[in-house]
Structure 1
């Protein structure tokens, strides 16, 4: 009878389901393989970070800013300076709080204050670099870039000096480990920023 289901009907149903499933899976795989703008920008950051001394830290600190960076080397350098500045400020504030806490020796407090002063200088230099980075265009590109490189290098020197102040037996225990780790992170971020700035300079060389 026309329209009735014979013995082959179940096989047809199974076949149609398999076709639908295969087509759906294929479309999903194509969609997943198609690069999106976000993925492209994230890969740009990953590739750019390979030129830095601490590529894993570079990527972890900047991947969340992919939409702001896009695929721009200049914005990449700008955002790297920004995270260095923010981290330096938060580390300095933390150290001031710890220095005013109880249980610190006079020598330890002195080392903390010296380090805070070094970080303060680094913050000022990073801020100047960010300000100049926003104006990085035109015929005086090379002059402005040279200023930025000088200031960021000086900031890195200040941070390294701060780190060295916690060497030896100036401070012991967990506090020393935590503080030194925080300062090293700032220094490593600044080092990465300098590497990205140097890469940007090379593109215009």
Structure 2
């Protein structure tokens, strides 16, 4: 009787384990596009999130991958804005600006350069996540991305040219989405 009960228990265990693993394999694995879509659904700018991340070519198998992709997008935007503000065509327009506008543009250039550094540090932090320091690293990443957003806001507080304002606003939006996606990892 004892042997029969043990064999029945073992058989039942293997049957349940096998049926669970078979049904798990039968389930369709989420596609990268599905993960991007579900991740962007509640972002502050969901359409922008979806548009910028759906064309991302790197790995997107987890929320951490999505957050890193969003940071790469934000960093690329920040570098473009920084380059644009420092470009000669903007510099040529400086002579037609008031002293206050010139100062605001110069401050904006510094703020965006700071954003580039903060976004770069945040991305590096997420790329080197370790279980034993996870909370600390997440805190660092969130702090730096928040600082990058503040830098953009500070730039927009100044009296900058409309084309600069448009680019910085776009940068702020992708950075806001990145901040949301990093929060989802934690």
Instruction: Please confirm whether the aligned pair reaches a TM-score higher than 0.5, indicating the same fold.
Output: yes
CA shift for structure 1 position 179: 1.5
Contact 1:52 1:192 in 2 (8 A): yes
Matches within 5 A, 1:110-125: 110-125=103-118
Structure with higher Rg: it is 1
Query: Which residue of the partner structure matches residue 58 of structure 2?
Result: 68
Contact 1:44 1:71 in 2 (8 A): yes
Cα distance in 1 for partners of 2:134, 2:175 equals 21
The unaligned stretches of length 5 or more in structure 1 are 1-35
Contact 1:122 1:155 in 2 (8 A): yes
Correspondent of 2:72 among 73, 77, 82: 82
- Whether 1:149 and 2:139 are equivalent positions in the alignment is no
Matches within 5 A, 1:31-46: 40-46=31-37
Cα distance in 2 for partners of 1:129, 1:51 equals 22
- Deviation per residue, 1:37-79 (Å, 9 max, x gap): 8x921121111001210011111111111x4233311010001
Correspondent of 1:126 among 105, 114, 119: 119
Contact 1:51 1:196 in 2 (8 A): no
Task: State the 4+ residue runs in structure 1 displaced beyond 3 angstroms.
Answer: none
TM-score for both structures, normalised by structure 1: 0.71
Query: Which residue of the partner structure matches residue 29 of structure 1?
Result: none
Aligned to 1:53, the other structure's residue is in SS state: coil
CA shift for structure 1 position 110: 1.7
Correspondent of 1:101 among 80, 88, 92: 92
Aligned to 2:92, the other structure's residue is in SS state: coil
Count how many residue pairs are aligned between Structure 1 and Structure 2.
Answer: 156
> For residues 111 and 99 of structure 1, do their structure 2 counterparts lie closer, same or farther at Cα, with a shift above 3 Å needed?
farther
**Over aligned residues, Cα RMSD in angstroms?**
1.9
Cα distance in 2 for partners of 1:109, 1:69 equals 42
Cα distance in 2 for partners of 1:93, 1:126 equals 16
CA shift for structure 1 position 151: 0.8
The unaligned stretches of length 5 or more in structure 2 are 1-27
Cα distance in 1 for partners of 2:136, 2:177 equals 21
CA shift for structure 1 position 108: 2.4
- Deviation per residue, 1:138-163 (Å, 9 max, x gap): 21111111111111111111111111
